[in-house]
Structure 1
């Protein structure tokens, strides 16, 4: 396929729209938003106005895109044209461990020479397969304040490996300085984690007898374990993990994690207020928060054998504004010790089930004068009122190395954000009117 630019001639009608001032909502995160889930974008109502399929030689990229060439103060890498590579119909933004521009890493960031306003935007791409990377498809105005609205940034997706989607709306015109000297601006953020859940219950078809149970995780960032339960055998159903009954004394059911003689050891804690003992205190409001780096684990040891019929745990944290859970572990194993070796009871690894680094996904945005609507694989995930994004913007594709998404390690070197295509649609014109 070739780069297509279709020009439309349309009759412009003058209209007056009154916009309320942007409220500057505080950032919030949430799991998959069920409100707008599974609503498809109907492309039969749109026509392709522009696209880049990257089916040309690498040197041709410069005809259509500008590139950053220099350092970046807010991230851990400088970004250069050489890190944007077109080959075999794919654009790769490549991370390299090399000292350049005063920074220890390099990556790539490009934006279109053409500017766009209103329509449906989408990009099909894969994440760089490493924690500590930010894989972005976005819109942002450049230069001074526009004649209409504000300087804005709409992050259609700032993707974090392996399974996190982040959508952000920024107002860059109304920057203010706080009493502590730091600058802030109105922004609204929502994040979505796929392939995980906050509450787990694992009844064992064949109970196991042991003195040791442990949970092990290679999750990149730190995470919360709010409650970990080790139940005895029981006929019938176990209480739901989030129910109050799960932490009460119930006839015929023992939670061995409440044993006063239990010995708990762990890989570490985030700080003194998030000790491992909070994982078994019977209060989901408190939690053991793992250390930020390295393998995370917590181990429970009893003075004598116990027979385990079910294991439950609650992880992540609940955003009270949206009543959604986020920050769940993307992988874990729960194991018991048989006297010689550790044996798996159950495990999860979203890199084999919801891995945005191995699977291509399509990230979309419908931008109108009234609304900003975000899509994943053409299904709606978020809808907001458009308060200030009323001017033209280039399309941006960027890869960055960041410290707030897990450890920055040599595993990043050579990874890349792989872009299959970028497309821009406009609503189909109404040609159904009868001629006069």
Structure 2
């Protein structure tokens, strides 16, 4: 994950000795601070229905219906022609073509059959471009639900390259605000794999420099909450997520907060999200980058500093889950002539769901809704209103909140290997 060109990562004998060993990034399926609770045991389930897409394209219509037209809330219209079965796989294909009043087309299909409680799973690979929403989901159709509320369960709304989004929507209780905007109860939880909110990079060979910078080509704007540039110490460095990190280790000096530190950056999201926020000692504030182009923040001093460790925190928290983590970064020092990499990371090389197939699952019963990835639990919620039969949906969309929209989307596809539905074995 980390490539060090001017020094090696300091290894610690135990995690208790050094907080945040950088060689121990989160591995699938753990993401951010989420704790895996359980695994699905398919020996306790009977396979009731499946589609392996091992037939000619024309036969897709026997089991699936297709959208043929635009959707107002997304940036593409969706058509049967964009759902293609070939070589034992279903592909939902993005195309840059004006149709249905929109600039892009894609695919959205749902089963003719309806399903109720059981275990659902789908093995698929994301369209390999930002701005795409790769979805496996359940939703009631029609104005009323037979039982409970009209609802939607997004088993995964996947965003390239490494984000899993799970949602439970209550479409039965829509309210209209004073501004005319309609809202409904929605319960969201997002997981980013490969990246992490906190990075701690101790250097075995200290770096002496007057300039340090952090660079990212992340497609969307992002938050940097704290940057700490520490002196060399014979002790281990603090937990980056500690609010009192600078005081947690005796003799520690954070050069980033020196009075003579000059901080510059590539741009701002708005006036309140200034770069000085990364050295105010508060994780609750942040520098938020501009939306477009390369993003960077630089620290400069009048005289050289000898640096033993660099830490930074990125993203933002929602109900204990870190979201919108950066997908790449470079930490660099300047040797007086040129910039030299200290550490680099690129999630597309480490954890790329547009390159890898994963299996997304849902256990749904009258009491609970449990989400899985590759057979391991990532989220569990009480079932309060999802009680009606529903079709299974497979959808690809182009949306502004899943990353930058570029021509790289054209020709990409969500590739689905199979979809399966199980019911518990009789006891």
Once residues 342 and 189 of structure 1 are traced to their aligned partners in structure 2, the CA distance between those partners, rounded to angstroms, is: 41
Residue 401 of structure 1 corresponds to which residue in structure 2? 398
Normalising by the residue count of structure 1, what TM-score does the alignment of the two structures yield? 0.88
SS in 1 for 2:180: coil
Pairing 1:391–2:388 present: yes
The answer as to whether partners of 1:128 and 1:135 remain within 8 angstroms in 2 is yes
CA drift of 1:369 comes to 1.6
Once residues 365 and 251 of structure 1 are traced to their aligned partners in structure 2, the CA distance between those partners, rounded to angstroms, is: 48
The answer as to whether partners of 1:31 and 1:191 remain within 8 angstroms in 2 is no
Runs (4+) of structure 1 exceeding 6 A deviation are: none
Residue 364 of structure 2 corresponds to which residue in structure 1? 367
1:275-326: per-residue Cα shift (whole Å, max 9, x none)?
112112222221101112222111122222222111111112233xx33322
1:345-380: per-residue Cα shift (whole Å, max 9, x none)?
112212122211111110001111221111111111
Root mean square deviation of aligned Cα? 1.6
The answer as to whether partners of 1:293 and 1:406 remain within 8 angstroms in 2 is no
Once residues 33 and 357 of structure 2 are traced to their aligned partners in structure 1, the CA distance between those partners, rounded to angstroms, is: 18
Q: Given the superposition, is the C-alpha separation of residues 164 and 175 from structure 1 closer, same or farther in structure 2, using an over 3 Å criterion?
A: same
Once residues 324 and 384 of structure 1 are traced to their aligned partners in structure 2, the CA distance between those partners, rounded to angstroms, is: 15
Instruction: Please give the residue correspondences for 1:216-295 in structure 2 after superposition, counting only pairs within 5 Å.
Output: 216-248=215-247, 252-295=251-294
Of stretches 127-136 and 253-262 in structure 1, the one that deviates more from structure 2 is: 253-262
Counterpart among 385, 408, 414 of residue 411 in structure 1: 408
SS in 2 for 1:404: helix
The answer as to whether partners of 1:220 and 1:405 remain within 8 angstroms in 2 is no
Instruction: Please give the residue correspondences for 1:129-140 in structure 2 after superposition, counting only pairs within 5 Å.
Output: 129-140=128-139
Residue segments in structure 1 that go unaligned for 5+ positions in a row: 1-29, 431-436
Once residues 82 and 75 of structure 1 are traced to their aligned partners in structure 2, the CA distance between those partners, rounded to angstroms, is: 18
1:177-227: per-residue Cα shift (whole Å, max 9, x none)?
112211111221111111222221111111112121111112222221111
The answer as to whether partners of 1:171 and 1:187 remain within 8 angstroms in 2 is yes
Pairing 1:307–2:309 present: no
Q: Given the superposition, is the C-alpha separation of residues 148 and 253 from structure 1 closer, same or farther in structure 2, using an over 3 Å criterion?
A: closer
Once residues 256 and 376 of structure 2 are traced to their aligned partners in structure 1, the CA distance between those partners, rounded to angstroms, is: 42
Residue 199 of structure 1 corresponds to which residue in structure 2? 198
Counterpart among 375, 380, 383 of residue 378 in structure 1: 375
SS in 2 for 1:380: strand
How many pairs align? 397
The answer as to whether partners of 1:32 and 1:192 remain within 8 angstroms in 2 is no
Once residues 383 and 290 of structure 1 are traced to their aligned partners in structure 2, the CA distance between those partners, rounded to angstroms, is: 34
Q: Given the superposition, is the C-alpha separation of residues 150 and 334 from structure 1 closer, same or farther in structure 2, using an over 3 Å criterion?
A: same
Residue segments in structure 2 that go unaligned for 5+ positions in a row: 1-30
Normalising by the residue count of structure 2, what TM-score does the alignment of the two structures yield? 0.89
